[in-house]
């Protein structure tokens, strides 16, 4: 997707994160945080379902393939560090199993939730 400005890209990204949050709520997740900033970087969505603490990265791209390609080894490492930092800072979440998910949203508004996404990379 080509955007005229960075501001437009940011707006579309925020909208995708909002729709991802709605999707997760409909699937029974509680949203604990959105756009949570750590010294390692930002976590798009932190959600809980049962004993799972889901650290969710949201990618909006033209196709599912491009969305998958947007997750790089560097971004995965950053998200893992940010997730560990978040869980460590919240004592009430220490007993939860942390899982790293990805939600890909395509231009045609197809939402694909990849649970435990890191296992596929």
**Alpha-carbon distance values, 86 to 5, 33, 43, 59, 100 (Å):** 32, 10, 9, 21, 13
Q: What is the pLDDT of residues 34-92, one digit of tens each?
A: 999 999 999 999 999 999 999 999 999 999 999 989 999 999 999 999 999 999 999 99
Query: Selecting from 1.10.3720.10, 3.90.226.10, 3.30.950.10, 3.40.1350.10, what CATH number does the domain 6-120 have?
Result: 3.40.1350.10
The domain segmentation of the chain, as residue ranges, is: 6-120
Cα separation, 105 vs 4, whole angstroms:
20
């Amino acid at each position: 997707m080509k955007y005229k400005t960075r501001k437009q890209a940011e707006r579309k990204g925020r909208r995708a994160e909002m729709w991802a949050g709605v999707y997760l709520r409909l699937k029974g997740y509680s949203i604990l945080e959105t756009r949570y900033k750590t010294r390692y970087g930002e976590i798009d969505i932190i959600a809980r379902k049962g004993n799972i603490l889901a650290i969710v990265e949201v990618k909006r791209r033209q196709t599912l393939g491009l969305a998958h390609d947007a997750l790089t080894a560097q971004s995965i490492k950053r998200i893992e560090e940010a997730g560990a930092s978040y869980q460590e800072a919240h004592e009430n979440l220490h007993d939860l199993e942390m899982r790293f998910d990805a939600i890909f949203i395509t231009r045609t508004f197809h939402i694909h939730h990849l649970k435990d996404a890191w296992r596929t990379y």
